[in-house]
Amino acid sequence: MAVKKEARLRGRFKEDIDAAAQRFVASVPFDWRLYKYDIEGGVVHAEMLAKQRIISRQEFEKIKAGLRDILAEIDSGKFKFKLELEDVHMNIESRLFELIGDTAGKLHTARSRNDQVALDMRLFAREAAGTVIQALQAINTRLVDMAGKNIKVVMPGYTHLQQAQPVLFSHYLMAYFEMFSRDIARFESCLKRINVLPLGSGALAGLPYPVDREFVAKRLGFDSVSANSMDAVSDRDFVLEFESAAAIAMMHLSRMAEDVIIWSTREFGFIDIGDAYATSSSIMPQKKNPDAAELVRGKAGRVYGHLVGMLTVMKGLPLTYNRDLQEDKEGFFDTFDTLVPCIEMMSGLMASLKINAARMKYSMQSYILATDLADYLVNKGLSFREAHAVVSRMVSYAIDNNKELNELEIKEYKGFCERFEGDVRSITLQKSVEARTSQGGTATDEVKKSIEKAREIIRGY
Ligand code: ARG
């Protein structure tokens, strides 16, 4: 079935576009959300054209007023996006014709949709990265606050999800502060490459007009202008970088979510999720489910998917612009729309936790101090490997005799190694923690130092 012809897009064709083909190529169902950036870019572009005497001052004023009206129409929900106009760019231009007549035709002088869409995406990405960074800073602020308040809580640290060594719960929280700090750095670094102006590249080859790209860059807050027009219209590295930084951040959030899920089980009982962040079962009245955390964990999948999807779209694309690039949008928008709520959800959920310090302590068997026993023997002159072998035999003996390590008699200790003395009794969970004074270790003073440093960083946010 053929539909009404849209003159500005169909100039050279004798036939109208097939309705299904029209729906298929249209991007307006999702790229409409670029309108703010499209209009902002249009106004500055027209201002530059006037400054360079490519169009007149009056023409610029007319275009600017028209674009401002369109912005207000879209903001207030009055604007009707039309599928037959294909994308956000043509929808806005077409409405500009309705509002100001033929002068609207001058706006597209020295501009192609190829550099225009690259500009819109970069403006969107710039704001999106800023929003992500703010959300990450907020969760970091919360984690540091929690770490400060829970400095006395000792929990079992795990490797292979087996009890390994006691650590401060605050040390655990600060581990995530480090991860999110790296995420922030990744988005900040990505911002540098986002913030390059592609407009002024034309369709691919540059422009035969005396444009002033530096002026446009300055007005739109870009740090620099792109150096190569062919690269500028076909580059989506900034989308890939954003998606990759997002994928890593989602991985961090997912791990944190997993800890929360495990620790809130009856078997662990280390934490209780605030009722406001828990869900119930429709059939089992006793249930308190960590659905929010599970969804954070689950949503990591789609964010990874968008990264791989876009890498695959880009791979093998001949230079320069190809319509395949339109596929950058939905994945990018969804990455942003997924990541920010996940950060906010984990932040709220963490703050809602009731920490069961007694349960954490109770869960630790004496075996968790086995490394400390080995370290004790090292202090008495054994090599670490010898000490490790002695304590391994003790652990095996204790297990066989259904005893905790600290239930063994001193003479039993001596049976394994002559160097054991009565002071071996002074090895406790807290002492084990406090012994780990190496830089970045879990000793209270070290963790307090890291919290202090973090507070300094947070003041700089
Ligand atoms: N909707 C297109 C996109 O997102 C806009 C650019 C179209 N350019 C073109 N030459 N067909 O990539």
Q: For residue range 76-92, list pLDDT tens digits in order.
A: 999 999 999 999 999 99
Q: Is residue 420 classed as helix, strand or coil in its secondary structure?
A: coil
Q: Is 91 in the pocket of ligand 1 (CB under 6 A)?
A: no
**321 in any annotated domain:** yes
Residue 95 CA from chain centroid, whole number: 36
Q: Is 335 in the pocket of ligand 1 (CB under 6 A)?
A: no
3-state helix, strand, coil in the chain (%, to 5): 70, 5, 25
CB 220 within 8 A of CB 263: no
Separation of CA 194 and ligand 1 centre (Å): 19
Asked whether residue 222 falls in the same domain as residue 353, the answer is yes
Q: Is 326 in the pocket of ligand 1 (CB under 6 A)?
A: yes
Asked whether residue 146 falls in the same domain as residue 290, the answer is yes
Q: What pLDDT digit, counting tens, does each position of 186-200 carry?
A: 999 999 999 999 999
Set 56, 281, 392, 396: catalytic member: 281
Q: What pLDDT digit, counting tens, does each position of 309-325 carry?
A: 999 999 999 999 999 99
Q: For residue 450, indicate whether it is catalytic.
A: no
Spell out the residues 6+ positions from residue 458 whose beta carbon is closer than 8 angstroms to its own: 137, 140, 141, 144
Q: Is 325 in the pocket of ligand 1 (CB under 6 A)?
A: yes
Separation of CA 324 and ligand 1 centre (Å): 9
Residues in the chain: 461
The pair of three-digit structure tokens given for residue 84, joined into one six-digit string: 């037959």
Of ligand 1's listed atoms, the one at least distance from the Cα of 87 is 1
CA atoms within a 13 Å half-sphere pointing along the CA-CB vector of 441:
13
Rounded to an integer, what distance in angstroms lies between the CA atom of residue 134 and that of residue 340? Answer: 9
For residue 136, give the CATH number of its domain.
1.20.200.10
Q: How many CB atoms lie within 10 A of CB 72?
A: 11
Single residue among 109, 128, 160 that ends a domain in this structure: 109
**356 in any annotated domain:** yes
Q: Is 320 in the pocket of ligand 1 (CB under 6 A)?
A: no
Asked whether residue 277 falls in the same domain as residue 314, the answer is yes
Separation of CA 81 and ligand 1 centre (Å): 16
pLDDT at 1: 47
pLDDT at 6: 56
Residue nearest to atom 4 of ligand 1 (CA): 326
Separation of CA 229 and ligand 1 centre (Å): 16
Q: Mean pLDDT score of the chain, rounded to an integer?
A: 95
For residue 150, give its domain range: 114-362
For residue 49, give the CATH number of its domain.
1.10.275.10
The single residue listed with the structure tokens 């890939």 is: 240
Q: For residue 281, indicate whether it is catalytic.
A: yes
Single residue among 65, 91, 109 that ends a domain in this structure: 109
- pLDDT over 50 (residue 421): yes
**1 in any annotated domain:** no
Rounded to an integer, what distance in angstroms lies between the CA atom of residue 356 and that of residue 270? Answer: 5
Number of domains in the chain: 3
Task: Give me the mean pLDDT over the 427-433 stretch.
Answer: 93
For residue 404, give the CATH number of its domain.
1.10.40.30
